[in-house]
Chains A and B, each alone.
Chain A
Amino acid sequence: AQKITQTQPGMFVQEKEAVTLDCTYDTSDQSYGLFWYKQPSSGEMIFLIYQGSYDEQNATEGRYSLNFQKARKSANLVISASQLGDSAMYFCAMREGGWSQFYFGTGTSLTVIP
């Protein structure tokens, strides 16, 4: 079974609008962390936001927020007020407990339209 599922291969959003990128995960661990990364065409992985499994509040970092629904095992990324520079690939990832592997979803390609 896939550890991380991103069902939107591509998304389009109008500049200045908000967009939600979906992510569901699968784990039996109680302790885990969820991450979102942005990967522009240069290839570097840019950290956006983190949500720990025990965090009760949804994480927020500037224009990024994470809609964490633990019972549904979803960790959707919300980008508010989209900018042209937000056009990139976005990856959801999970680390289960300890120092174990870091799993990535298949990614969503976001295009911001002027």
Chain B
Amino acid sequence: GAVVSQHPSWVICKSGTSVKIECRSLDFQATTMFWYRQFPKQSLMLMATSNEGSKATYEQGVEKDKFLINHASLTLSTLTVTSAHPEDSSFYICSARGSRADEQFFGPGTRLTVL
């Protein structure tokens, strides 16, 4: 089946630094990718919808300037957490829809810890 990869799988950074997370569709083209954040023992919360070649659509309450999303190609979307703070520590997961209605592929997630 199709695979979505994320890099890095985990990252620890100092408060105030920026962190970039990559999401790649390895064997299919993904015009639309989704970014989620998951806090411990909670559900996945949709942060934004990333569309190739256009601006991302952010969910209400998600700061566009803090969580920069770029979807420059059909196989790569990036999420940059700018000026990260400890409250940004979370598990970030990307997802892409496949060509069939029953296909929704998820990356393995990136665990971000901000000190």
Contact = CB atoms under 8 A, between A and B. Distances in A.
Interface of A: 33, 35, 37, 42-45, 47, 50, 52, 91, 93, 95, 99, 101-107, 109
A45 B93 CA distance: 9
Contacts of B43: 91, 104-107
B28 interface: no
A95 B93 CA distance: 17
Interface in B91-115: 91, 93, 95, 97, 101-102, 104, 106, 108-109, 111
Most buried by A among B44, B46, B49, B111: B44
Interface of B: 31-32, 34, 36, 38, 41-46, 49, 91, 93, 95, 97, 101-102, 104, 106, 108-109, 111
Contacts of A50: 101-102
B97 A99 contact: yes
Contact of B106 (A44, A52, A101): A44
B97 A91 contact: no
